[in-house]
């Protein structure tokens, strides 16, 4: 985790210029949680009246910070709030020590910021199974509080990185009833990425106003078509946390029926989800898998994820081999309804197979040329119904092995 220097070839050219969200300020510091000389802790301070919503991993071995956030997220409060995140150590599978460390951080942060402890949400990401040296974090709380800056979201994005090769951010600015509304989000994620909720840390902020129940419903619904539709390696993290904070500073109230806001939030979430895939450990290709014609949407997702998670398919993509037989294999093993003789498979616009056999028009050379691109699309129509689903993944290269073999060193 401390050795990664090469930025993903799929990374954006630069971190985006995110808008200031009134009602939230950020800071970051070097606490030495695992590595010296690395920014590894961030704080976000939220104004009174902020509404919080969250979605979390469903892992049976989720971390102490996740359990703490889950206990707090459903509580209504007019108080301000804070988010504090460290990288380097996930505080997961640490037994009672994990609870003690989480409470030590949230209690000290609450005292420093003058907040109820129930309004401090913490996250930890990094190595599993090692006690969190929480005193290194609490020693930095005064510095973090004194350096809060509403324009420091980029520094916060960098502080939460682990095996990430670039910080991730996305934003949207829209007009509702003639008034501007802004959304800005940051994320971390590179490996241990599979949907259950998202396998990453994500923090999204908006100056819209929303009731907690409405904000939560919107977030949960949009998570299913964004973060729950990506995979890098089929492994679900113990620490996944997605928090959405609505400060209300714009004075514009929104809910699930506010189409412009919902669409903008969806766009920010999908952008961040795609960036995580583009930063997949060792990734060199971004792959969209689109399944249509399934018996149901659920079946379509089952097929899509079987394709996206197949090591055989992912290594073939890494080797730029148009091995469409592996797509047939993945569909057959998924367990969802399929009929061999109704399948249609395409690589990009190239018709590869149809009617249970390779297409007469298929040319291996054309498909091999297509596979050399950085952005690929595999589409499958099952010919059974109207179910559909699109998911996103990346290739599986030797770089993935190198990163994870050295992860704890």
Q: How does DSSP assign 295-358, residue by residue?
A: SSHHHHHHHHHHHHH-HHHHHHHHTT---THHHHHHHHHS-S---GGG-EEEETTEEEEETTEE
Residue 163 pLDDT: 82
Catalytic residue from among 199, 206, 231, 236: 199
DSSP character for 8?
P
pLDDT in tens, 232-261: 765 556 678 999 999 999 999 999 999 999
Topology (CATH) of 24-278: 3.60.70
Q: Stretch 23-44: mean pLDDT, rounded?
A: 96
Tell how strand 344-347 and strand 375-381 pair up: antiparallel
Binding residue positions? 162, 188, 199, 281, 404, 409
The share of the chain scoring above pLDDT 90, in percent, equals 84
User: Binding site for substrate: residue ranges?
Assistant: 162, 188, 199, 281, 404, 409
Whether the pTM exceeds 0.85: the reply is yes
Region 57-83: mean pLDDT is: 92
Report the DSSP pairing between strands 120-127 and 81-89: parallel
Q: Which residue has the higher pLDDT, 60 or 179?
A: 179
Extents of the domains making up the chain: 24-278, 286-405
Contact (CB, 8 A) for 238 and 128: yes
For residues 70 and 74, give the distance between their C-alpha atoms in angstroms, rounded to a whole number.
8
The mean pLDDT value of the chain amounts to 92
Phi, psi of 372 (to 5 degrees): -75, -10
CATH number given to 286-405: 3.10.20.340
Residue 405 pLDDT more than 80?
no
Distance CA 260, CA 372 (A): 37
* Distance, CA of 25 to CA of 273 (rounded, Å): 24
Residue 58, pLDDT score: 81
Strand partners, 372: none
What is the mean predicted confidence (pLDDT) over 212-223?
A: 96
The Cα 384–Cα 389 span in angstroms is 14
Handedness of CA 92, 94, 100, 105 (dihedral sign): negative
Residue 194 has pLDDT above 80, yes or no: no
100 has a pLDDT exceeding 90: yes
Q: Is 199 a catalytic residue?
A: yes
Cα separations in angstroms, 208 against 36, 54, 376: 38, 16, 36
Reply yes or no on whether the pLDDT at 407 is more than 70: no
For the record, the structure tokens of 274 come out as 């795609």
In this structure, how many other beta carbons lie within 10 angstroms of the beta carbon of residue 142? 11
């Amino acid at each position: 985790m401390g050795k990664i220097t090469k930025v993903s070839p799929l990374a954006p050219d630069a971190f985006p210029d995110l808008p200031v969200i009134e009602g939230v300020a950020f800071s970051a510091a070097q606490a030495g949680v695992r590595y010296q000389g690395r920014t590894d802790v961030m704080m976000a301070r939220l104004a009174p009246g902020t509404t919080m919503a969250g979605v979390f991993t469903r892992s049976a071995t989720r971390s102490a910070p996740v359990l703490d956030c889950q206990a707090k997220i459903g509580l209504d409060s007019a108080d301000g709030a804070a988010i504090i995140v460290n990288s380097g150590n996930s505080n997961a599978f640490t037994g009672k020590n994990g609870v003690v460390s989480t409470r030590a951080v949230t209690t000290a942060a609450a005292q420093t910021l003058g907040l109820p402890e129930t309004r401090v949400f913490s996250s930890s990401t990094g190595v599993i199974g090692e006690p969190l040296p929480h005193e290194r974090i609490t020693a930095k709380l005064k510095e973090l509080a004194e350096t809060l800056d509403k324009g420091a979201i980029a520094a916060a994005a960098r502080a939460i990185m682990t095996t990430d090769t670039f910080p991730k951010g996305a934003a949207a600015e829209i007009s509702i009833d003639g008034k501007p509304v802004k959304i800005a989000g940051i994320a971390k994620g590179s490996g241990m990425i599979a949907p259950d909720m998202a396998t990453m840390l994500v923090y999204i902020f908006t100056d819209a106003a929303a009731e907690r129940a409405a904000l939560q419903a919107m977030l949960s619904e949009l998570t299913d078509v964004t973060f729950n539709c990506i995979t890098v390696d089929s492994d679900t993290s113990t620490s996944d946390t997605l928090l959405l904070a609505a400060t209300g500073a714009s004075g514009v109230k929104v809910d699930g029926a506010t189409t412009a806001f919902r669409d903008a939030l969806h766009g920010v979430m999908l952008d961040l989800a795609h960036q995580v895939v583009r930063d997949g450990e060792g990734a060199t290709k971004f792959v969209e898998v689109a399944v249509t014609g399934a018996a149901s949407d659920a079946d379509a997702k089952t097929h899509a994820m079987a394709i996206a998670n197949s090591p055989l398919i992912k290594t073939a993509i890494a080797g730029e081999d148009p091995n469409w037989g592996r797509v047939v294999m993945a569909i057959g093993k998924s367990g969802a309804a399929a009929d061999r003789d109704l399948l249609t498979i395409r690589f990009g616009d190239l018709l590869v197979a149809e009617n249970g056999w390779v297409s007469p028009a298929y040319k291996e050379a054309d498909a091999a040329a297509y596979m050399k691109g950085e952005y690929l699309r595999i589409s499958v129509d099952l010919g059974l119904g109207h179910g559909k689903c699109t998911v996103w993944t990346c290739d599986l290269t030797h770089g993935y092995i190198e990163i994870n073999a050295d992860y704890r060193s």
